[in-house]
């Protein structure tokens, strides 16, 4: 396997998806929300999750699951990022997530069922996806999304149910946009678009017994069929309705989107350490806005 290119000096602006930038700017328009969550509820959530991980997870290190530790360190080196804590937790639902408040110890959690499903290269791509949240400082907003919706909708705080519903829609849209950026971080570490697309395929319909039978090229063709069926006005409406409450874009679109970016000049310039211009104005680049 050829040596991977470390991206020394990499900044989030170099690979941030334009929809992520646009949605983040919209989220920042909510007055005082960021400060309120970090100042009031953030410390409680941080301590809760830290205790929960120590009690119910395995902290990865050079002495504990060292192969996973090496995957983490290599991914951090490529993305030019300080390593967070990495925990492995027993859970039958394939998933991974991250948490950090600014200035505090961030951590990434990966479930055992996801590890069982993936190859080492694919596991590293998942870790890199979560590192993308940290590189772009998404994790504060991810925490804000979970806590704010809970506080407004269930704890009866002054936001009220109507505002909570609108807030939830905006936060979910932001999370979906952020996922596109983090898939790019996964590609920057994997440096092979098929590895990232394979992760998405296995998360769509894989299992440890089926994984070896899955066909990635057929999965990418499936993504094109999904696009074709969504071209009509009715198709666009149904597609938007089906995805409005999702925390992630549908996997076929994520796979297609990362396949496109892997062929872009921006990606090639990053791998060859050539500076790329960054447009602060987020512009739509295609039909993937209506997930």
Active site residues: 130
Rounded Cα distance, 222 and 197, in Å: 12
**CB contact at 8 A, 122 and 135:** no
* Cα atoms found within 13 Å of the Cα of residue 186, Cβ hemisphere only: 28
Residues in a beta bridge with 99: 107
Are 164 and 145 in contact, with CB atoms under 8 Å apart?
A: no
In angstroms, the CA 258 to CA 180 distance is 8
Cα–Cα distance for residue pair 45/151, rounded to 1 Å: 12
CA 230 distance to own-chain centroid: 24
3-state secondary structure of 172: helix
How big is the chain by its Cα radius of gyration, in Å?
19
Name every residue whose Cβ is closer than 8 Å to that of residue 69 and which is 6 or more positions away in sequence: 60, 61, 62, 86
Which SS3 state, helix, strand or coil, does residue 129 take?
helix
- Nearest CA to 65 out of 40, 84, 79, 86 is that of 86
Angstrom distance (rounded) from CA 174 to CA 9: 26
Q: Could you tell me the CA-to-CA distances from 27 to 67, 87, 219 in Å, in that order?
A: 38, 29, 33
How many other C-beta atoms can be found within 10 angstroms of the C-beta atom of residue 249? 21
Residue pair 30/38 in contact (Cβ under 8 Å)? The answer is: no
């Amino acid at each position: 396997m050829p040596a991977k290119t470390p991206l020394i000096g990499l900044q989030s602006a170099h690979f941030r998806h334009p929809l992520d930038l646009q949605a983040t700017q919209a989220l920042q328009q909510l007055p005082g929300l960021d400060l309120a969550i970090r100042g009031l509820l953030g410390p409680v959530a941080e301590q809760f999750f830290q205790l929960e991980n120590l009690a119910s997870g395995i902290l990865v290190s050079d002495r504990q699951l060292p192969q996973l530790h090496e995957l983490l360190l290599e991914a951090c080196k490529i993305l030019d990022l300080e390593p967070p804590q990495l925990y492995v937790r027993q859970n039958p639902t394939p998933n991974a997530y991250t948490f950090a408040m600014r200035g505090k110890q961030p951590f990434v959690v990966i479930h055992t069922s996801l590890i069982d499903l993936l190859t080492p290269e694919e596991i590293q791509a998942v870790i890199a996806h979560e590192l993308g949240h940290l590189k772009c400082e998404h994790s504060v907003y991810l925490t804000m999304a979970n806590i704010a919706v809970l506080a407004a909708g269930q704890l009866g705080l002054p936001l009220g149910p109507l505002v909570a519903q609108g807030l939830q829609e905006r936060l979910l849209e932001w999370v979906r946009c952020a996922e596109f950026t983090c898939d790019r971080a996964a590609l920057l570490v994997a440096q092979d678009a098929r590895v990232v697309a394979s992760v998405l395929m296995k998360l769509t319909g894989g299992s440890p017994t089926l994984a070896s039978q899955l066909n990635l090229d057929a999965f990418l063709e499936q993504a094109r069929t999904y696009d074709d069926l969504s071209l009509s006005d009715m198709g666009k409406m149904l597609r938007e309705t089906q995805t409005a409450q999702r925390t992630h874009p549908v996997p076929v679109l994520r796979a297609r989107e990362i396949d496109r970016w892997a062929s872009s000049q921006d990606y090639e310039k990053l791998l060859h350490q050539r500076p790329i211009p960054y447009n602060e104005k987020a512009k739509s680049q295609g039909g993937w806005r209506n997930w």
